[in-house]
Amino acid sequence: MKITFWYGCNVLRHGDIIHACIDVLRLLGYDPSPAGGPDFCCGSTKDSNAVAADGMASRTVERLNKRGNDTVVAWCPSCHLQSAEFHEKGYEPKYGMQYFMELLYEKREQLRPLLRHEVPMRVFVHRHMGFHDMVPVNDMAPALLSMIPGIEVVEDNYRGPGYMCAHLATVPAAMTRLVRETEARMRRAKADALVTLYHQCQRELVGLEAQGVTQVFNYMQLIARSMGLPYEDEYKAWKKAGPEAARAIDEARLQKVGIQFFDRAVLPELIKKTPR
């Protein structure tokens, strides 16, 4: 089945997640056509500017329509929300939209035999309240993780405010409170690792591993590990390198994006500590 895998524009620092998703879709029998980057921005980054948001949204819907696939599978929760609340009402998408985790959950019995390698770990799942109202990710994620041999999911009812950490990060007191509560619950549960559901949360919380607090993984990284897929979390390695991150990145790649851009737009987030 031909589908469009719409990974959006904000996950580009996490190439391992993108490649793992594409490989998993192929192994489940799909023929995914990837679509992402600035040319496929949903427009949510410009919500405060209606003209800019409209231009981005209409362009993206038009480009997704041209793919000619009946189904678009979205990785990013922002893209999925924007599509349901904005694109479907203001434009004419010629495709159905499905969230990536929702597809995995529907195909979980096909996914199960692909999870061959043990990942011995007791994990605490980092969940938010908001996006669950649209797609029940807070229930789906533990069910998927529990299929991985060796994984034990901590039972806990804590849900962070909003639908991902990227918004909380702009309110330092709220972000600090979320992290402290999460750490306390992890200690009580004797969890080995924190597992995020979204790349935005991974980006904000992976600093806890760089700070020596706990291991941090996105759920797709654990699925990929159990399937024997070869992808490593480069962003985590950069985060651990901190001020020396440029030395941890291949010189050709660094030159391609430009050292000035890296210093201005990427390095500040790599040296930023997760508030605790």
pLDDT at 219 over 70: yes
What is the chain written as a DSSP string? -EEEEEEESTTTT-HHHHHHHHHHHHHTT-EEEEEESGGG--SGGGTT-HHHHHHHHHHHHHHHHHH--SEEEE--HHHHHHIIIIIHHHS---SEEEEHHHHHHHTHHHHGGG--S---EEEEE--BSSGGGTS-HHHHHHHHHHTSTTEEEPP----BSSSSHHHHTTSHHHHHHHHHHHHHHHHHHT-SEEEESSHHHHHHHTHHHHTTS-EEEEHHHHHHHHHT-----HHHHHHHHGGGHHHHS-HHHHHHH-HHHIIIIIHHHHHPPPP-
**Domain spans, the chain:** 2-105, 115-276
What is the model's pLDDT at position 68? 94
229-243 pLDDT, tens digit per residue, is: 999 999 999 999 999
Q: Does domain 2-105 have CATH number 3.40.50.1370?
A: no
Average pLDDT score over residue span 203-209:
97
Q: Given pLDDT bands bounded at 50, 70 and 90, which one contains residue 46?
A: low
Quick: pLDDT tens for 92-135. 999 999 999 999 999 999 999 999 999 999 999 999 999 998 99
Same fold: 2-105 with 115-276: yes
pLDDT category of residue 47 using cuts at 50, 70 and 90 = low
Fold of 115-276: Rossmann fold (3.40.50)
Instruction: Summarize pLDDT for 158-174 with one digit per residue, the tens.
Output: 999 998 998 899 999 99
